[in-house]
Amino acid sequence: MSTTVAVSDTGSETLFVLVAGSTETARIEGLSAAGATPRLVAHTSSADLEIVRYGRPVRSPVTPVSPSGCPTPAVVTRAVRELQRFEVVCVDAGLAKPTAAPTVDIGQTAGGDIRDPEPVEHARSLFERAETLGANLPASEIRIGETIPGGTTTALAVLTALGERQAVSSSLPENPLSLKRTVVDEALQSSGLSSGESAGEPIQTVRHVGDPVLCSVAGLTAGAVATDKTVTLAGGTQMAAAGALARHAGVDAPLELATTSFLANDQTANISGLANDLSLSLTVTDPGFDQRDHPAMNAYVAGEAKEGVGMGGALALADRSSVSSSDLLNRIETVYGRLLEDNPEVTA
Amino acid sequence: MSTTVAVSDTGSETLFVLVAGSTETARIEGLSAAGATPRLVAHTSSADLEIVRYGRPVRSPVTPVSPSGCPTPAVVTRAVRELQRFEVVCVDAGLAKPTAAPTVDIGQTAGGDIRDPEPVEHARSLFERAETLGANLPASEIRIGETIPGGTTTALAVLTALGERQAVSSSLPENPLSLKRTVVDEALQSSGLSSGESAGEPIQTVRHVGDPVLCSVAGLTAGAVATDKTVTLAGGTQMAAAGALARHAGVDAPLELATTSFLANDQTANISGLANDLSLSLTVTDPGFDQRDHPAMNAYVAGEAKEGVGMGGALALADRSSVSSSDLLNRIETVYGRLLEDNPEVTA
């Protein structure tokens, strides 16, 4: 009736670090699938942390499952955690709503709308706090995931400002790329930046057109590699954008990007090109959702959600261990069923 | 090289909840052994959480080991956790210094000196937040421990104001009872309270003469029993005082108090009398430290520290499982050795 998670007693284990935060950018209609309405979107990341930590939403009034039945990727990460026994450290980099998951708080200021001049005013202190945490965490390997609605738009803005490949995915089946580009254009304009102008200046980039999660992931990465830890960025184009920030901050250590086949199959994203540009070694894991006829899995096969909350990195962990595909799919069904069964009333 | 901790996937497991906080009362010289100087005392609880969560201090600049070599009881709780696989939720009820341990934040306001009229002004909201957390935590059994330097003095004040038995232990070999009584007298006087006057008014009691940890433990207990969870108060006279607050808040469910033999042997504390008064079923566990000639264990045998950070509750968990005494003592030596080996520079 219970599973176990690995806890390092020697600093030699894998630590899964989930960085959660928010950006007012997510309130722009049509950008994100993470939450049915802007009011609910604000709760998504807090609920994601609870699902990975406790197996279900605990304090959060929302169950992050789309009208079509597509659950948050937190369900998959949790399922792998129940089978694969990894320890999670949740990081609050600026959540919009409280969470009952224990968090290390490094920011606690929500990100602003990137169409305003300084959406992350405290970018420098946030980066430095994340860097310190990355240096201090007692583990030889850390996998970093994210949860922030609207994050692919801020990622596109960051990639654009840094002069990197402007390729990002979406949690929606149809990537609203032209809307994203309009928002990014406005973001650059409001900060007086042109494309590529902030290359080599990751902190300024985040301050003007980024979000607190991208900033924190880059800082964690810098701190971790400086203390000889292996870093895996667990996710898609957002984590690649965080990797870009780390590269522009001078991080030249090997970095892995572990994502899902759903993300890799997104032609609008071109994750392999982006990974290649940034010298991120790419791992793509296919969880075999097409083997089952289950609403949660069908939604992913149809292109919803795709990635997030460390899903690709969790799947890679399952893949390299002895977890069988059927155990994994069964467990995903179990976690999903638990969410629907609880179905906390939406009070947001 | 690693151990595992149990993680509930069904809400049927034990959750260990560690409530950390501070009280300015601890700055009164001679009250507490938890930290060599008042400046260092402020870091003790933050370090305790890191030790239980990560196995060593991570961000905290102090190693809570006394000049005689007596380590914080967090070492014992961590040792049991490495063997016994329980999951920990750390709660920040008002830490004085930051911690790298992930925490659920319910207070974040340090407690004042109880010689001032309202050391815990926000007692009501703190109690209610703790109550909600206790109700929400997905577990069938919770064990609650505490870490707050100076906590036995605030416990004495609370017991006195409630009209309960005025018996508290100490982390020092010689309990500075007369100093504590003087402080408690001043505390009652500054709030215009006489002994027993706030019986039945737990929130007012905490507000005037308590600390944020006692308040939070009482609230957690109330919320947990209201949702049919089994509650074990893991600790000594401080946890008994929290139990007294819960009783005065109308909690009449069975409650266990799990403490150490060192605390039970403290004649100044009379824990069994206190437990009996409050209808707390008492479990006393002797870890057999007298079987080894080791500085950490010798210090406990000599009466230092005695209890804290859930030690008695962790030992009871080990006792009811298959953990052998020699495995436990070996693991305590390992964790202790890790602390000394790291020996982070004291920068506080």
Q: How confident is the model at residue A85 (pLDDT cuts 50, 70, 90)?
A: confident
Crossing angle, helix B202-209 and helix B212-226, to 10 degrees? 160
Question: What's the mean pLDDT in B209-231?
Answer: 98
What number is the average pLDDT over the span A238-263?
98
What pLDDT sits at residue B29? Answer: 87
With 70 as the cut, is the pLDDT of residue A343 above it?
A: no
Check pLDDT > 80 for residue B344: no
Q: Which residues of A touch B104 (CB under 8 A)?
A: 100-103
- Flag if B12 and A1 touch (Cβ within 8 Å): yes
Q: Inform me whether the pLDDT recorded for B66 exceeds 90.
A: no
Chain B residues touching A60 at Cβ < 8 A: none
Confidence of residue A34 (pLDDT cuts 50, 70, 90): low
pLDDT score, position B345: 42
Find residues 63-92 of chain B whose CB sits inside 8 Å of chain A: 81-82, 85, 87, 89-91
Q: Which residues pair with B255 in a beta bridge?
A: B280
Q: Residue B35 has what pLDDT?
A: 58
Distances (CA, A) of A238 to A3, A152, A187, A243, B182: 31, 6, 17, 9, 59
Distance CA A145, CA A137 (A): 15
CB contact under 8 A, B104 and A105: no
Longest Cα pair distance anywhere in chain B, in angstroms? Answer: 57
Please give the structure tokens belonging to residue A57.
């939403």
Quick check: helix, strand or coil at residue B139?
coil
Q: What is the mean pLDDT of residues B88-107?
A: 96
Confidence of residue B341 (pLDDT cuts 50, 70, 90): confident
Mean pLDDT, chain B, rounded, equals 92
Q: What is the pLDDT of residue B173?
A: 87
Residue with tokens 């990081």: A91
Tell me how close the Cα of A208 comes to any Cα of chain B, in angstroms: 28
CB contact under 8 A, A12 and B4: no
CA B145 to CA B239: how far, in whole Å?
7
Strongest mean pLDDT among B85-94, B237-246, B313-322? B237-246
Say what percent of chain A tops pLDDT 70. Answer: 93
Residue A10 confidence (pLDDT): 43
Residue B348: name the closest of B45, B8, B74, B84 by CA: B45
Q: What is the ipTM of this complex?
A: 0.87
3-state per-residue secondary structure call for A23-81: EHHHHCCCCCCCCCCHHHHHHHHHHHHHHHHHCCCCCCCCCCECCCCCECCHHHHHHHH
How confident is the model at residue A14, as a pLDDT? 85
Alpha-carbon gap, residue B16 to B34, rounded angstroms: 22
User: Rounded mean pLDDT of chain A?
Assistant: 92
Q: Is the pLDDT of residue B318 over 50?
A: yes
- Out of A111-120, B65-74, B132-141, B219-228, which region has the weakest mean confidence (pLDDT)? B65-74
Alpha-carbon distance of B280 to B256, in angstroms, equals 5
3-class SS of residue A18: strand
Cβ contacts of A192 within 8 Å, gap of 6 or more: none
Each residue's pLDDT tens digit, A188-226: 999 999 999 999 999 999 999 999 999 999 999 999 999
Most distant CA pair in chain A, distance: 57
- Residue B34: pLDDT band with limits 50, 70, 90: low
Site from B13, B51, B97, B104 to mutate, A interface, most A CB atoms within 10 angstroms: B104
**What confidence category does residue B224 fall into, taking pLDDT thresholds of 50, 70 and 90?**
very high
Query: Which pLDDT tens digit goes with each residue over B267-283?
Result: 989 999 999 999 999 99
pLDDT surpassing 50 at residue B248: yes
Strand ranges in chain B using DSSP code E only, listed in sequence order: 2-8, 14-20, 87-92, 103-105, 141-147, 230-234, 255-260, 280-285
B310 φ/ψ sector (left φ>0, alpha ψ -120 to 50, else beta): left
- pLDDT at site A33: 67
Q: Which residues of A touch B4 (CB under 8 A)?
A: 4-7, 85
- Cβ–Cβ gap A137/B100 under 8 Å: yes
Q: DSSP of A266-314, one letter per residue?
A: -TTT-HHHHHHHTTEEEEEE---GGGS--HHHHHHHTTSS-S-TTHHHH
Contact A346, A39 (CB under 8 A): no
Cα nearest neighbour of B335 on chain A: A9
Averaged pLDDT, B280-304: 96
Closest C-alpha to B275, from B285, B264, B267, B286: B264
Dihedral sign computed on CA atoms, order B115, B121, B123, B124:
positive
Report the distance separating Cα B87 and Cα A299, nearest Å.
Answer: 33
Residue A1 has pLDDT above 50, yes or no: no
Q: Is the pLDDT of residue A11 over 70?
A: no
Least CB-CB distance to B100: which of A54, A82, A136?
Answer: A136
- For residue B313, pLDDT over 80 is answered with yes
The answer to whether the beta carbons of residues A98 and A20 sit under 8 Å apart is: no
Is the pLDDT score of B11 beyond 70? no
B345/A contact by beta carbon, under 8 A: no
Helix H or strand E encompassing B46: helix B38-54
Least confident of A294-298, B34-38, B141-145, B161-165: B34-38
Which pLDDT does position B33 carry in this prediction? Answer: 67
Nearest CB partner across the interface for B55, out of A5, A8, A91:
A8
Judged by a CB distance cut-off of 8 A, whether residue A97 touches chain B is no
Confirm or reject contact between A181 and chain B (CB < 8 A): no
**Is B186 in CB contact (< 8 Å) with chain A?**
no
Q: Report how many Cβ contacts below 8 Å link chain A to chain B.
A: 113
Chain A interface includes B59 (CB < 8 A): yes
Over range B70-88, report the average pLDDT: 93
Q: What percent of chain B has pLDDT over 90?
A: 80
For B234, what's the count of Cα atoms within 13 Å in the CB-facing half-sphere?
A: 29
Q: Confirm or reject contact between B321 and chain A (CB < 8 A).
A: no
By CA distance, what is B53's nearest residue in A?
Answer: A7
- Tell me which of A170 and A250 has the higher pLDDT: A250
In 3D space, the residue among A130, A105, A137, A164 whose CA is nearest the CA of residue A15 turns out to be A137
Contact present, A278 and A332 (Cβ < 8 Å):
no
**C-alpha to C-alpha distances, B147 to A198, A246, B39, B234, B239, nearest whole angstrom:** 46, 37, 16, 11, 10
Query: Model confidence over A35-60: pLDDT tens digits?
Result: 556 777 899 999 999 999 999 999 88
For B196-205, b/e burial (b = at least 16 CB within 10 A) is: ebbeebbbbb
Average pLDDT rounded to a whole number, residues B11-21: 85
Tell me: the pLDDT tens digits for B132-180?
Answer: 999 999 999 999 999 999 999 999 999 999 999 998 998 888 899 999 9
Tell me which of A9, A82, A330 to substitute to probe the interface with B (most B C-beta atoms closer than 10 Å).
Answer: A9
User: How many Cα atoms occupy the beta-carbon half-sphere of A307 within 13 Å?
Assistant: 33
Q: A91: part of which helix (H) or strand (E)?
A: strand A87-92
Rounded Cα distance, A56 and A263, in Å: 25
Give pLDDT, residue A36: 59
Q: Which tokens belong to A252? A: 């030249």
Q: Model confidence at B335, in pLDDT bands (50, 70, 90)?
A: very high
Subunit contact A138:B58, Cβ cutoff 8 A: yes
**Which bin fits A52, alpha (ψ -120 to 50), beta or left (φ > 0)?**
alpha
Contact B105 A100 (CB under 8 A): no
Nearest chain A residue to B108 by CA distance is: A105
